[in-house]
Amino acid sequence: MSAKTAEVVICGAGIAGIAAAYHLAVRRGVTDVVLVDERPPLSLTSDKSTECYRNWWPGPGDAMVAVMNRSIDLLEDLARESGNVFRMNRRGYLFATADADRASRFIRRAQEAAALGAGPARVHTSPGGDYQPAPADGFEDQPAGADVITDRALIRRHFPYLAEDTVALLHARRCGWFSGQQLGMYLLERARDKGVRLHEGRVERVDTAGGRVRAVTVSARGGEQTIATPRFVNAAGPFVKPVARLLGVELPVLCERHAKFAFNDVRAAVARHAPMLIWTDPVRLPWSEEERRELGRSREHRHLLDEFPAGVHGRPEGAGESPVVLLIWTYDVETVEPTFPIEFDARCPEILIRGMSRIVPALAAYFPRLPRGVVDGGYYTKTRENRFLAGPLPVEGAYIIGALSGYGLMAANGAADLLADYISGRPLPAYAPAFRLDRYDDPAYRALLADWGDSGQL
Ligand SMILES: Cc1cc2nc3c(=O)[nH]c(=O)nc-3n(C[C@H](O)[C@H](O)[C@H](O)COP(=O)(O)OP(=O)(O)OC[C@H]3O[C@@H](n4cnc5c(N)ncnc54)[C@H](O)[C@@H]3O)c2cc1C
């Protein structure tokens, strides 16, 4: 390791740390940034994502929608300047229901989202409605906001592959997906062009003599090295908590394990051009009578007959002969300590395929023989209300960008742009207070927390 001094040392080269380095070096002109990671860049959580983005977030207040709109603006700028190397699309998130009562909730939700700044609500109630489907590729010239479709003929015309009893759809439009790895590598290369140095090693200590950051000690293969620096950024992903303790700071964050299942859809069950598909009703997994009897007799597997929570979702990835389908479902979350390697529920592929067949019935073709695929995933590192942390820590010169939960790919640019405003002393956007650690010191915010509604987690 060569750096003996740095203007800023960032711990963590996941998407958060890389975006922070990019915004500091490329967009704010901060020179001499060192990015430290004990693993290869983007290899811990940032390559396990479903890589989707959305400006579709609940309140209270408009902070979450505002920061995501900013983040998506930045993603679109990056896509334009790079010739869309990270293949950003704008297919949208399609929420579907077979529950007639939910249709009116979809309309209310679209109107609330419009009031928060997500874009206008359009309701289509007749077969001749002027609903415009999303293109498979590209992101330019597309509507924002949401289309709510309550006419079943219109639903079938545009989405013939959905369950026949689907009675309403909400298509959120400033949403889609991209390659997170390509985005991260693009940001890292631009940052390195501006002098950002990447160092392999583990941040062991942060010297805070006199109440402010002085130096960071890193252990690497060649031994320990201390980098004198006035600024330290904690971007340690699932390890933000222990890294904050190096500064004597306790963070109110927790980790949940989340898995996804990716398989080659050789039966072409999921339409290649489909948006992100989300079923908003609770689901009972479909089993044959014989399977039901067998599961009912097994104490270990009986729960597979129970009702599963709403929210099973998935999307196609890529084109060609047998594109991949990604499925994900938050059906069994609990708070855990992050450890690696991660073990996942062996029944996850079956639960996901059967659950997702509620929205895409053609997936039932896989029941007799499950497709081979890959189960992987990582930790959602989050605050209790699921809003990230970006800003100063209570030690002078120390900052955080973390707790990016299940939305770090989409939010990293917005969060890093905000962090770079703090570090470069620029005026802060109106949403800045919503993402500071010291929001928890505010009694009014604590009262809000006690009665927090939807966290926006899918
Ligand atoms: C299954 C799944 C699906 C997801 N889907 C989406 C999605 O669709 N859209 C979306 O936007 N987000 C999604 N996410 C969330 C997203 O992946 C994360 O929010 C994001 O990757 C977090 O990035 P990070 O940089 O904070 O953490 P990480 O990528 O974990 O990076 C942290 C880095 O810090 C390093 N580090 C930690 N401690 C030290 C130390 N002491 N010294 C040196 N280095 C250290 C680690 O080695 C690591 O490389 C998903 C996540 C999962 C698990």
What letter represents residue 264's amino acid? Answer: N
Residue of the CA atom closest to atom 27 of ligand 1: 237
**In the prediction, which pLDDT does 128 show?**
84
32 CA distance to ligand 1 centroid (A)?
Answer: 24
Residue of the CA atom closest to atom 14 of ligand 1: 406
SS3 405: helix
Count CB atoms within 10 A of the CB of residue 427. 6
pLDDT digits (tens, 9 = 90+) for 19-68: 999 999 999 999 899 999 999 999 999 999 999 999 999 999 999 999 99
Tell whether ligand 1 has an atom less than 6 A from the beta carbon of residue 45.
yes
pLDDT at 4 over 60: yes
**In the prediction, which pLDDT does 392 show?**
98
CA 83 – CA 88 distance, rounded (Å): 10
User: Which residue has tokens 């605050």?
Assistant: 383
Compute the mean pLDDT over every residue in the chain, rounded to the nearest whole number: 96
pLDDT at 166 over 90: yes
8 A C-beta contact, residue 415 and residue 71: yes
Instruction: pLDDT band for 175, please (50, 70, 90 cuts).
Output: very high
CA 420 – CA 149 distance, rounded (Å): 41
**In the prediction, which pLDDT does 323 show?**
85
Tell whether ligand 1 has an atom less than 6 A from the beta carbon of residue 12.
yes
Tell whether ligand 1 has an atom less than 6 A from the beta carbon of residue 371.
no
User: Residue 236: CB partners within 8 Å, gap ≥ 6?
Assistant: 11, 12, 203, 242, 243, 402
Query: Taking the model in full, what pTM does it have?
Result: 0.97
When mean pLDDT is compared across 276-285, 312-321, 414-423, the lowest value belongs to 312-321
Residue of the CA atom closest to atom 32 of ligand 1: 237
Tell whether ligand 1 has an atom less than 6 A from the beta carbon of residue 338.
no
**In the prediction, which pLDDT does 318 show?**
84
Tell whether ligand 1 has an atom less than 6 A from the beta carbon of residue 260.
yes
Tell whether ligand 1 has an atom less than 6 A from the beta carbon of residue 378.
yes
pLDDT at 333 over 90: no
**In the prediction, which pLDDT does 3 show?**
66
**In the prediction, which pLDDT does 2 show?**
61
pLDDT digits (tens, 9 = 90+) for 429-438: 999 999 999 9
pLDDT digits (tens, 9 = 90+) for 334-382: 999 999 999 998 899 999 999 999 999 999 999 999 999 999 999 999 9
